[in-house]
Amino acid sequence: MQLFLFGHSWLSFITQNYIETFAAADSPDSESFKLAGAILSGTQGPAGNIRVIGSYIMSFLAFFIGKRKPSAITRLLVDKSYNKPFKPAKTAFDWISRDRDEVNAYVNDPFCGTHCSIGFYKDMLNGLMRIHSNEAFDRIPKDLPIYVFSGSADPVGEMGKSTTALVDIYRKKGIRDLEYILYPDARHELLNETNREEVMGNLLSWLIKQTDKNEFRR
């Protein structure tokens, strides 16, 4: 069975961790968890000292407020800045898509836009620093096919800068089968964007290409 791992946004960080940990050649689980490819959407790469500072802030808040409690400060630091490039914004989530119906559906969904705990953000920041270390990047199998796609107006990927930096690192680390598409003016939720048919078409083409490769190898 051919297994492709697909991670979007926060789940893309888990996908990055997976290919650095379980897919690594020296991992005892590398054969049990053999991947045909990994897909990263709406992701980001290293962010330098800003995450170290953020981790200290979250630790401070967790100590005085409690790690299981949400905080308006964490929301302000992590999410609020995403909407700034889209002023005047009609909702707090204009950054996710240019499709107004999709944004409204997100706003009206009680399971979306959850205000997470201080402890969650603290752990996520620490996890991002770990998965974006040089040692972690070195563990990614060089023959693992990786497909990355993002929007040039996605604030999570720093308007393409952070995502492009991640792809550049993969190239420098010798990832041989690497494809990257940066869609002009597209925002965070590319599968719910105004050009979603183009996005899904390109993704399907890549999956078919990888599947055909693996079938040929057999």
Least confident residue range of 61-75, 125-139, 148-162: 61-75
Fold of 1-45+135-218: Rossmann fold (3.40.50)
- In percent, how much of the chain has pLDDT > 90? 67
Segment 97-126 shows an average pLDDT of 93
- Which residues fall within 8 angstroms of residue 162, CB to CB, at 6 or more apart? 44, 45, 46, 47, 156
Instruction: Compute the average pLDDT of residues 166-171.
Output: 98
Beta strands, E only, the chain:
4-8, 37-41, 146-151, 178-183
Least confident among 9-18, 25-34, 39-48, 119-128: 25-34
Distance CA 193, CA 32 (A): 36
For residues 55 and 25, the answer to whether their CB atoms sit within 8 Å is no
- Ranges of CATH 3.40.50.1820 domains, the chain: 1-45+135-218
Least confident of 3-17, 54-68, 163-177: 54-68
Q: Are 122 and 48 in contact (CB under 8 A)?
A: no
Quote the CA–CA distance of 154 and 102 in Å, as a whole number: 15
pLDDT-based confidence at 162, cuts 50/70/90?
A: very high
Structure tokens at 21: 């940990």
- Return d(Cα 92, Cα 52) in angstroms, integer: 27
Of the candidates 181, 189, 195, the one whose C-alpha atom is nearest the C-alpha of residue 94 is: 189
User: pLDDT (tens digit, 9 = 90+) per residue, 41-77?
Assistant: 999 999 877 787 788 888 888 888 888 888 877 777 7
Q: How far is Cα 139 from Cα 198, in angstroms, rounded to an integer? A: 32
Structure tokens at 192: 């719910």
Q: What's the CA gap between 43 and 47, in Å, rounded?
A: 12
**Contact assessment for residue 60 and residue 32, using Cβ atoms and an 8 Å cutoff:** no
Residue 24 pLDDT > 70 = no
- The pLDDT assigned to 52 comes to 77
Task: Flag whether pLDDT at 5 surpasses 60.
Answer: yes
pLDDT tens digit sequence for 185-206: 999 999 999 999 999 999 999 9
**For position 76, what pLDDT does the model report?**
74
9-23, 57-71, 100-114, 142-156: which range is least confident on average? Answer: 57-71
Mean pLDDT of 89-93: 93
Strands 4-8, 146-151: pairing is unpaired
CB contact at 8 A, 43 and 12:
yes
Structure tokens at 92: 């707090």
**In sequence order, which residues have a C-beta less than 8 Å from that of residue 213 and are 6 or more positions away?**
145
Q: For the chain, what's the residue count? A: 218
More confident residue, 209 or 24: 209
Q: Tell me the pLDDT band of 155, cut-offs 50, 70 and 90.
A: very high
